[in-house]
A and B are shown apart, each in its own frame.
Chain A
Amino acid sequence: MAQKLYIFGIGGTGSRVIKSLSMLLAAGCRLANGFDTVVPVIIDPDTGNGDLDRTKDILRLYQQIRNQVDHPDGFFAQEMKTIHELADHGAAINPDFFQFRLTGVDGNSFRKYIGFDELGNKRDPGEDDRHFIRLLWSEANLDADISVGFKGNPHMGSVVLNQFTASEDFRRFGQTFAPGDAVFIINSIFGGTGAAGFPLLLKNLRGNSDLPHRVHVKETPIGAITYLPYFSLNRQEEINSETFEEKAKIAIDYYNRTIISQNKVNALYLVGNKSNTNVINYAVGGKEQKNNAHFLELAGALAIMDFCRNTSLHGVSDGRAVNGTRVKEFGIENETETVGFGDLNLDDVKSLSGPLTKYRLFTEYLDKGLPRALGVSRWTRSNIRLVPRSNNSLLDKSYFNSVEYNLQVKAFNAYFSEWIRELGDNKPAFVPFREVTADTALNLVRGTTPKGNLSFRALDAENCRLIARDELRGSAERKHTTLVKLFGRSTEKVLSDKELIIR
């Protein structure tokens, strides 16, 4: 039976973890235990947020590419759908479908959102209400523009986010939910949106009586990852990173009392970097908030995979985890500022090494190796004479010049390369790969010294051997079938021959 994993990414951190997960899924990682469909849901009032836009674009591209691959079995193997698609059984791809819409936040101040000014202006009960509200929120809070998020104020976020459970999107989520499905929630504890959204969402999942299929939702396994502070800001203004740690302590205490000790989630992953030296540019939200990808977001994606691997431990009865909330922390084997595959836990290496190395080789090849082979190498030729028609490749110049290739595969791969680069620029840096040229392409894995010819030649030769296989030829409408399946296989063979994949 088809099982879905709904992944709620709350706030900027939620978007960035979903981005990391998308990269892993594109590289061929799959969720275990029959979870065949991932349903990402981003909850963020800051609709113009740079991280959010980038993630939505990546998810759109993922879907577009996957929809053009016939039965993907390597790269892009994991199905990804939006709640909109599941509810309407439509095939339309729209990046906005990945996001839950919050009404009343666009261009609004918090004051306006809660109707502060409509409480009356005379000495009447309204005046008392206003005084009471001032006890809870400062003037700065009331004047804050909530269309860019809650600027590290969860007590504002908890009010605004409370509305999404009454939204059409949330109702559709309930409609599409089926027995066997599970939920994973991503949030950061030291900000505003994520810290407020997690308990709210959890409360509604475990007990919203208006939600369709509420019985299934209530009894579903729920995992969550909560981010402790892992970066600081270069300026301290409305958002002050010096308060992150204090906020995190308070929130953890709250989570401990209301979530962990109540067994509301089956697994809670805590990820953070206490001694972080990672300073990012100050931005309250909007387009400026576009943080570089961070290794810990990749760790978050691994947590999601770990959660799916352990579903047998995730029984739920009456909305509570039967085995209690399993709290897990993420760690690496070696304390270093430059993390490579060799510094990770063996299980994590096994999960990441093969898929990431293969996809990295794929993107590097298309960038640096293809110009030499295109129109020359047999696997890129569609005009070979005196051979059966099936021996002519679908991956000719016209394919690589096509709109679909350039606006989908090439665009997604640019995001992948940017993601890898950003992971390496952050602290701690995740640098599993070397920079390579066309002549040193197979020298790509840091910490290895492969022998023999290191150019793309072996990959081109393997592509030639595989290109005529029937299983690589998709229908005409699914244009990326051959490319995606071919490189899934050829990169595996070439990297295995050079012993560059850790198994």
Chain B
Amino acid sequence: MTEFFAAMYETLFRVYHASYPEIFSTLYNFGGYMKLGGIFLLVPLVFWLLFYFLWRYPYGRFWHWLLWWLVSGGVVLVVTWFQARGAIFDSPNPALVDALADPESGYKVYAVTLPQRYALINTGLSLVAGFLYSLILKPFSKIQMHLPF
């Protein structure tokens, strides 16, 4: 899975920068990509499980669904930002720590922008995943089967 997530972020979304290999090797080797991938997959899954199977409000409308979709995206945004920041700035990799501590390496200036990028990518992915989860889960729901449509 690490291979898959790494390829997705680095190649598909072009986050990789050859000048800062320590950051990406750290994310690859210390489980950072797995956590980021897990966030955009699992957070919306939990949200939609709650929506379809625990929320027993029988008057759910489309705007309820839309709000929930956006809230799940928002949560992914925040969680991803904190996770990516922690994975980079609190890294157990001494090489990356040294690089970040060296102002002349440019690592720190570049790394500061990365959590936002990962957060935005994950938010987009989570919205897509959430929509798909919604379509998959809704036929099994008793009360919110009619949402989003």
Contact = CB atoms under 8 A, between A and B. Distances in A.
Interface of A: 372-373, 376-379, 381, 384-388, 391, 457, 460-461, 463-465
Contacts of B58: 373, 377-379, 457, 460-461, 463-464
B61 to A, nearest CB: 6
Nearest to B135: A386
B22 to A, nearest CB: 46
Contacts of A379: 58
Contacts of A372: 59
Interface string B46-63: 000000000011111100
Contacts of B56: 461
Interface residues of B, number: 15
Nearest to B62: A376
6 contacts: A372-B59, A376-B59, A378-B58, A457-B58, A457-B59, A464-B58
Given A386-B139, A386-B149, A387-B139, 14 more contacts: A372-B59, A373-B58, A378-B58, A378-B143, A378-B145, A378-B146, A379-B58, A384-B146, A386-B135, A457-B57, A457-B58, A460-B58, A461-B56, A464-B142
Contacts of B138: 386-387
Q: Give the one of B57, B139, B145 with max A CB within 10 A.
A: B145
Interface string B121-149: 00000000000000100110011111001
Contacts of B57: 457, 461
Nearest to A385: B149
Given A377-B59, A464-B58, A388 B143 contact: no
B59 A465 contact: no
A391 B59 contact: no
A461 B145 CA distance: 12
Contact of B145 (A376, A387, A460, A463): A387
Nearest to A388: B139
Nearest to A391: B145
A379 B142 CA distance: 9
A386 B61 CA distance: 17
Nearest to A463: B58
Contacts of B59: 372-373, 376-377, 457, 460
A379 B61 CA distance: 13
Contact of B142 (A376, A386, A388, A465): A465
A461 B57 CA distance: 7
A461 B149 CA distance: 18
Given A376-B59, A378-B58, A391 B143 contact: no
Q: Give the one of B56, B57, B58, B149 with max A CB within 10 A.
A: B58
A377 B57 CA distance: 9
A372 B60 CA distance: 11
A376 B58 CA distance: 8
A391 B142 CA distance: 9
Contacts of A391: 139, 145
A114 to B, nearest CB: 66
B121 to A, nearest CB: 28
The 8 closest A-B pairs by CB, nearest first: A460-B58, A464-B143, A461-B58, A378-B146, A465-B142, A387-B139, A384-B146, A377-B58
A439 to B, nearest CB: 13
Q: Give the one of A377, A378, A385 with max B CB within 10 A.
A: A378
Contacts of A385: 149
A12 to B, nearest CB: 45
